[in-house]
Amino acid sequence: MTNAAVLPDSDLPLDPFLEDSADATDQTATDEADQTDQADDDGETPNGFAALGLDERVLGTLIDQGFHTPTPIQTETIPLLLGGRDVLGLAQTGTGKTAAFALPLLSRIDPAVRAPQALILTPTRELAIQVAEAIESFSAGLSHVHVVQLYGGAPYGPQLSALRRGAQIVVGTPGRVADHLDKGTLDLTDVGYFVLDEADEMLQMGFLDEVENIFGMLPADRQVALFSATMPSAIREVSRKHLNAPEEVSIKGKTTTVANTRQRYVVLPERLKADALARVLQVEDFDAALVFVRTRQNTTDVTDALNRRGFAAVAISGDLSQAQREKTIADLRSGKIDVLVATDVAARGLDVERITLVVNHDLPTDPESYVHRIGRTGRAGRSGEAISFVTRGQIRLLRAIENTTRQKAEEMSVPGTEEVNDRRRARFAERITSALAGENDGGDPLAVYRKIVDDYVAEHDVDPVALAAALAKMSQGGKPLLVEELPAPPARGEKRGRDRDDKPGRGQGKGRAPAPSWSVGSGTDTYRIDVGHNQRVKPGAIVGAIANEAGLDSAHIGHIDIRTDHTLVELPADVPGHVVKRLQKARVAGRPMGLRRASEGGGSSSGGGRPDRGGRPDRRERSPR
């Protein structure tokens, strides 16, 4: 019996039947032992899914593939959905919610109807792909049931062809689904089953308008299953408006991902992060590493810094086409890439077994994001490592994260110069050992080089050791083998004033944000942005967005006054027009800032009137900055 006896969430492994929890595996073993005691006389083991009322063909597929024990959310949710109830599910990643809605969906699909009967929305392309693949695997025993994936970054042609052929199940992102609805290429007339997966992430990314419009185009008698890792007021409001007396199912998030992951942190200023990351990656033993940063631009900056230091690193963000993203993930799986640098949204749904180390280059601003991040490692009973870079101003945030995870992180130091150099020397020696062993690297045999060396020693009468050292230096290609000492941080008692590098919200990359492209004057002005309490925006998010997008030190960001539907913030009076335009498009709390001087209208600085929201958000695929 394998450890894959519990159906997991499909936004974890690409194989939908891999379990990501050691505790769940242990529980499965216990369940199987109990089931063995209760086995029928003919020796067959009862299947836990059989009592849930699933279609026999779906149940047969589960039995054929060796699955016996449903997870708690599957046990509670499947009978409700089969009974026609709407469900509001509070469930974290890894609880098995994909199977919880997919199995009853497949049990009610009519293969004879060649039109969409089920619509599943996910916040990201990766999750859409993995949910669709999971459903396809569950439907192996059903004939003529087809799934179509609708997401941005992919050509319309194959999607249109699949819709014309009569796919019964549509899995997609809100932006692309809305596009198909606008074009008239997607008809929801026969949709009786609507699922919103990761609904909180969807709304945070600014897709509320699309979701509301889709609800308005669905048949009145559709059944809805809404799943969310958190339950903010916006999700409650969607449920109140669009779900019919939903049954609430709440499954506590599993702590095994955290329990399987050793958590450590380093306190350091922003300016040392690039060198510290390189040192950590050189000293830690890992197969593949996932590095989280705050913005898309940070992915490029950090990746460039790593590549200059000799790492095989690649950035992944919403700017990549789907083909590029798929190739990048495939290269990570195969070992062509050792380090992946990503934002939270870009890494959503990512699961690669090689990832054994997660580095929070930029600490997330909320504990739940932290848990999702470190959940990329320490899966399926494996151990994992998570290291966070923390500025002194973020210590309180780290403590809040520890309270959420109920696990203390260990403080560590940046690996010292001698430790790093010892490791580099050892690895260089390993390369020599491999070469002496004659391992085939595709080059000429060792004998060819031995003759060259012998001839050189005889002709020039040189010391063979000196010659070997010269050849070793040649192999480095002009790059230093050893690293130098890091700049010494200020002493504890040293007067720092307002240290630019210790402020949260600074840009990343080579260790510090780009300096403003203008000379910041002494005057200030009040600016208005189009998010407020209604969008649950926090001061830290505003500071981070402005600092990163404008390359502006947080010391230049003054008083922040968050109001009902907008915010007033003090900035330098001489912010250039091109920077203002960039900040107008920058996103905070899932919406464009629309930044402008408060004196320019769109609502007075006293808070009266309605803000100028600048129209509906664009319907294209998008990610928060």
pLDDT confidence bin for 523, thresholds 50/70/90? low
Do 168 and 283 share a structural domain? no
Do 192 and 60 share a structural domain? yes
The stretch 563-576 carries a mean pLDDT of: 83
Residue 398 lies in a domain: yes
The stretch 441-464 carries a mean pLDDT of: 81
Residue 546 lies in a domain: yes
Average pLDDT, the chain: 76
pLDDT at 21: 33
Q: How many CB atoms lie within 10 A of CB 188?
A: 20
pLDDT confidence bin for 87, thresholds 50/70/90? very high
Do 179 and 291 share a structural domain? no
pLDDT at 115: 94
Q: Which long-range contacts (CB under 8 A, 24 or more apart) does 214-221 make?
A: 214/119, 214/121, 214/174, 214/177, 214/178, 214/181, 214/188, 215/241, 215/242, 217/181, 217/188, 218/119, 218/188, 218/191, 218/194, 219/188, 219/189, 219/190, 219/191, 219/192, 221/192
pLDDT at 113 exceeding the cut of 50 = yes
Do 176 and 305 share a structural domain? no
pLDDT at 65: 65
Nearest-5° angle of CA 288, CA 290, CA 294? Answer: 165
**Between residues 489 and 430, which one has the greater pLDDT?**
430
Do 197 and 303 share a structural domain? no
**Angle, to 10 degrees, between the axis of helix 56-64 and the axis of helix 97-108?**
140
CA dist 311 and 357 (Å) reads 15
Do 260 and 140 share a structural domain? no
Residue 475 lies in a domain: no
Q: Is 239 helix (H, G, I), strand (E, B) or coil?
A: helix
pLDDT at 101: 94
pLDDT at 304 exceeding the cut of 70 = yes
Number of separate domains in the chain: 3
pLDDT confidence bin for 497, thresholds 50/70/90? very low
Residue 473 lies in a domain: no
In one-letter notation, the amino acid at residue 440 is N
CA dist 507 and 299 (Å) reads 11
CA dist 506 and 512 (Å) reads 7
**Between residues 138 and 191, which one has the greater pLDDT?**
191
Which of 320-324, 436-440, 495-499 ranks highest by mean pLDDT? Answer: 320-324
Last residue of a domain, one of 385, 418, 451: 418
The stretch 480-491 carries a mean pLDDT of: 57
Last residue of a domain, one of 250, 275, 293: 250
Residue 227 lies in a domain: yes
Last residue of a domain, one of 217, 250, 283: 250
Do 392 and 270 share a structural domain? yes
Do 372 and 312 share a structural domain? yes
Do 108 and 63 share a structural domain? yes
Do 337 and 267 share a structural domain? yes
pLDDT at 241 exceeding the cut of 80 = yes
Q: 179 and 172 in contact (C-beta within 8 Å)?
A: no
Residue 1 lies in a domain: no
Q: 228 and 200 in contact (C-beta within 8 Å)?
A: yes
pLDDT at 376: 81
- Lowest-confidence segment of 15-19, 128-132, 178-182 by average pLDDT: 15-19
Q: What is the end-to-end Cα distance of the chain in Å, rounded? A: 45
**Between residues 497 and 286, which one has the greater pLDDT?**
286
CATH of the domain at 132: 3.40.50.300
Residue 3 lies in a domain: no
Residue 63 lies in a domain: yes
Question: Residue 364's domain spans which residues?
Answer: 256-418
**Between residues 442 and 486, which one has the greater pLDDT?**
442
CA dist 139 and 124 (Å) reads 23
CATH of the domain at 578: 3.30.70.330
What is the strand order of the sheet 355-360 is part of?
Answer: 313-316, 339-342, 288-292, 355-360, 384-390, 261-267, 410-411
In one-letter notation, the amino acid at residue 71 is T
Do 382 and 349 share a structural domain? yes
**Between residues 606 and 253, which one has the greater pLDDT?**
253
Do 262 and 175 share a structural domain? no
- Lowest-confidence segment of 38-47, 67-76, 164-173, 227-236 by average pLDDT: 38-47
> How many whole angstroms from its chain centre is CA 218?
30
